């Protein structure tokens, strides 16, 4: 259900770049939504999902607002979203979300192989 919402919601009105979400990121997003629902309820979980969507749209439209992370890869950027960090790469046609990690997680370990 969450992934259908994400895929449909994110495809609406995205004119510049296409958004791609890695399989591992899909898993992370589902875990975030499940945790948020358990901890703070369904309403807050839905709000967080919408806010996350808005942040990703902002990145699609302005990908350079993130911080380049050369210690991870010359093409990886990060951008904060509340208690999480969004890791992504982009080109003229596609913005790929590589991970959505809690800020306490070490990205170098989590992003290996992505």
**What pLDDT digit, counting tens, does each position of 76-113 carry?**
999 999 999 999 999 989 999 999 999 988 787 788 76
Residue 106 pLDDT = 74
Does the pLDDT value for residue 35 go beyond 70?
yes
Residue 97 pLDDT = 96
Whole-model pTM over 0.85: no
96 phi and psi angles, rounded to 5 deg: -105, 120
Q: Please give the Cα distance from 2 to 4 (Å, whole number).
A: 6
Residue 107 pLDDT = 84
Cross-sheet strand order for the sheet of 94-102: 18-21, 94-102, 84-90, 77-81, 67-68
CB-CB contact of 89 with 77 (8 Å): yes
Q: Pairing relation of β-strands 18-21 and 94-102?
A: parallel
**What pLDDT digit, counting tens, does each position of 51-74 carry?**
999 999 999 999 999 999 999 999
CATH 3.40.50.620 for the 18-106 domain, yes or no:
no
Does the pLDDT value for residue 22 go beyond 50?
yes
pLDDT-based confidence at 1, cuts 50/70/90? low
């Amino acid at each position: 259900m969450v992934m259908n919402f994400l895929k449909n919601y994110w495809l609406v009105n995205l004119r510049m770049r296409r958004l791609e979400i890695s399989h591992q990121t899909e898993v992370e997003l589902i875990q975030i939504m499940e945790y948020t629902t358990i901890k703070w309820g369904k309403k807050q979980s839905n709000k967080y999902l919408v806010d996350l969507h808005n942040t990703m749209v902002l990145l699609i439209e302005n990908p350079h607002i993130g911080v380049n992370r050369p210690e991870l890869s010359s093409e990886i950027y990060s951008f904060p979203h509340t208690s999480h960090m969004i890791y992504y790469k982009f080109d003229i046609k596609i913005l790929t979300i590589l991970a959505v990690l809690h800020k306490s997680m070490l990205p170098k370990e989590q992003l290996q192989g992505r």
